[in-house]
Amino acid sequence: MIGAKLRELRSAQGMTLRGLASETGLSPTLLSQVERGVTEPSLKTLRALATVFGQSVSTLFEEPIPMLVHVSRPGQRSRISSPAGHIQYERLTPGNGQLEVLRGTLKPGECSSDEPWSHEAVECVYVLFGELTVTVGKQTLAVVSGEAITIDSSQPHKYSNNTVEKVEFLVSVTPPTP
């Protein structure tokens, strides 16, 4: 689905893979793999593409889904990677441009990115089980199962698992940002 939409947008703009690669700073090989469905794009890749096409990530690659009812079923959800590709999120909500809810899992010692990063949004993280270490600016907080933390995402932030057990959490982001 993402690959076909990318090919459609690129063709509509009269761009070659090399031209799009030049605009985004991504390799033509990676873009070709995304278009052919060989690989899933990371959030960083999606953001770069959204910037070129002047759209938000959520509306760029998803068909609008009426918001009367949406059922998200295991095995049928799309996946996206964090900007550094350290974590793969499972998308729980349809792309409607207003709210993004993702399910993330970090194994012991894993983190969402090497360095904290920022974007214009508000994020609420709810820990399903385990302990998530959240770094926001110079502050580091432990958030445990059943707790939630809301952050201004314009502050550099990252998520880490500094324990010996897996951590699973939900991240709600509004608005989804390119």
The per-residue pLDDT for 63 is 56
Task: Answer yes or no: is pLDDT of 3 > 80.
Answer: no
For the chain, what are the domain ranges? 2-60, 79-174
Cβ atoms 141, 149 nearer than 8 A: yes
Task: Read off the tokens for 126.
Answer: 């709810």
Q: Which of 33, 64, 156 is nearest to 45 (CA)?
A: 33
Per-residue confidence band for 152, with pLDDT thresholds at 50, 70 and 90: very high
CATH 2.40.10.230 describes domain 79-174: no
d(CA 12, CA 6): 10
- Average pLDDT, integer, range 165-173: 95
Report helix angle 28-35 to 2-12, nearest 10. Answer: 120
Partners of 129 in the β-ladder: 168
- Average pLDDT, integer, range 46-64: 67
pTM for the full predicted model: 0.64
The per-residue pLDDT for 60 is 60
CATH 1.20.1250.20 describes domain 2-60: no
Q: What are phi and psi of 103, to 5 degrees?
A: -110, 125
Q: Which of 30, 162, 129, 50 is nearest to 95 (CA)?
A: 50
